[in-house]
Amino acid sequence: MKDVSLFTPFRGERYADPSSLERRLAPPYDVIAPAQRAELVARDPYNVVNVDLPEASDGGDPYAEAARVLAGWRAGRVLVRDEQPAAYVLKTSGRFPDGSMRERTGVFLAVSAEPFSKGRVLPHERTHAKAKEDRRRLMHATGANLSAVFLLAPDRSGKLDGALRRATARSPWARCEALGSEQAIWVVTGPEAEQLAEAAGAESVYVADGHHRFETSVLFRDEAPAAWKEGATRTLGYVVSFRDPGLVILPTHRMLEGAPLDADAFLSAAAPFFAIAPTRKEPTLSVVFEGGREVALAVRPNARWPKVGDQPVHPAVRALEVAAADGLAVGVIAASLLGKVPALRYTADAAEAREAAREGRCACALMLPSTRLEAVRRVADAGQIMPPKSTFFAPKVPTGVVIRSFDAPL
């Protein structure tokens, strides 16, 4: 594969009526529950969820249904394709899930669909075959990227941050209240779009969310039909600068399945691995037991970590509270008390996790602080992988702002 720019502008497809976006945007497909999907469809028959998370009413092929719906929207000019390549800037403003008022600004561009081994796009999560097969079948049916891969650019020069500030200094193409936030969209063309693409790809970027989508695009590139071959060398990315103060990672807490654990037995088994404090004075790992007792856990410098396969745990991973939770608190301590590694239930709602533990509806709950952005970067730079559910970047990047079709000229 010849060397190409990491990012380029592209000719996107957008909803022709910008005033409709409030009703037609949707969260990424993989966080939409059935009830929310039904609500989105009821809100507007042209909501993008109909093609990004398709259902066939007659029990037939949902991917064929997505292709049929998308073709109908194009024919009826519900969606229209831009005449020239563009970069699509999105600013999301409002009360973020951590309770703070923030703004986050990024840009939709076409990113090279290339293996992680090239080192220009760096992951921090493992993926699963089932989810990739779903996205693969949808790409084959629709010939389009619908949900974007959320990417982080180091932006050490500040050029991406500056270019985004200049782009958002004028009136947007569209502004709406959608998905709990204000969304503002700018369509940037010409040299300014090229500058955004160049700044975004000045250094290797990091996958924040959408590992499955990116890996599927890499696979699809090699199997795409001839008519889509050129277009399939890229996929849809949404890039945010590391400098953006609106970048938020929420913690995902763990509820361990099983009968309530005896707190004293757990803490006795934990003592060789963790220094134990009676209160949680600052954001750190803690464990909640039946009855509501909560204690903070800090990994001892000399703690013996179990190997991953035949390899020791990398220092960048050992520094993560979530790795201590999964690798030590769950994989060693709880496993020794329960006789097996317990299954986990995950939640971003701290009150939900604490209540489940307090009421004895789980063995215990592990409360986690947010994973820091620099920690994500260190793990990815080291070529390592974080435990599952280590990062919940919020808010999610909406689907439906722009669609990228494989048959559009690059």
**pLDDT tens column, 257-276:** 999 999 999 999 999 999 99
Lowest mean pLDDT among 3-7, 13-17, 166-170: 3-7
More confident residue, 307 or 21: 21
What is the phi/psi pair of residue 43, to 5°?
A: -70, -40
pLDDT of residue 98: 66
Rounded CA separation 339/295 (Å): 23
Q: Give the pLDDT band of residue 314 (cuts 50, 70, 90).
A: very high
Lowest mean pLDDT among 12-16, 97-101, 131-135, 174-178: 97-101
pLDDT of residue 170: 96
CA distances to 222, 247, 283 from 97, in Å? 39, 12, 17
Lowest mean pLDDT among 53-67, 134-148, 271-285, 360-374: 271-285
Q: Quick one: 376 exposed, middle or buried, by C-beta within 10 A (0-12, 13-18, 19+)?
A: buried
- Identity of the residue numbered 86: A
pLDDT of residue 361: 97
pLDDT of residue 97: 66
Domain extents in the chain: 7-249+393-405, 252-369
Beta bridge mates, 150: 209, 238
What is the phi/psi pair of residue 309, to 5°?
A: 65, -120
Rounded CA separation 181/169 (Å): 19
pLDDT of residue 297: 95
Residue at token pair 């650019």:
153
CA distances to 192, 276, 341, 347 from 365, in Å? 49, 16, 14, 10
Lowest mean pLDDT among 91-95, 282-286, 295-299, 394-398: 282-286
Q: Give the pLDDT band of residue 3 (cuts 50, 70, 90).
A: low
Beta bridge mates, 298: 275
Q: Are 147 and 48 in contact (CB under 8 A)?
A: no
Mean pLDDT of 187-194: 98
pLDDT of residue 141: 97
**In this model, does residue 206 exceed pLDDT 70?**
yes
Structure tokens that stand for 48 in this block: 């993008």
Q: Quick one: 276 exposed, middle or buried, by C-beta within 10 A (0-12, 13-18, 19+)?
A: middle
Mean pLDDT of the chain: 93
Lowest mean pLDDT among 93-97, 230-234, 339-343: 93-97
**In this model, does residue 1 exceed pLDDT 50?**
no
User: Could you tell me the pTM of the whole model?
Assistant: 0.91
**In this model, does residue 313 exceed pLDDT 60?**
yes
What is the phi/psi pair of residue 268, to 5°?
A: -65, -45
* DSSP assignment of 162-180: HHHHHHTTS--SEEEEETT
pLDDT in tens, 24-78: 999 999 889 999 999 999 999 999 999 999 998 777 899 999 999 999 999 999 9
**In this model, does residue 382 exceed pLDDT 80?**
yes
Q: Are 359 and 365 in contact (CB under 8 A)?
A: no
Q: Which residues contact 320 (CB under 8 A, 6 or more apart)?
A: 371, 375, 379, 386, 387, 390
pLDDT in tens, 336-346: 999 999 999 99
Beta bridge mates, 177: 182
Mean pLDDT of 126-154: 92
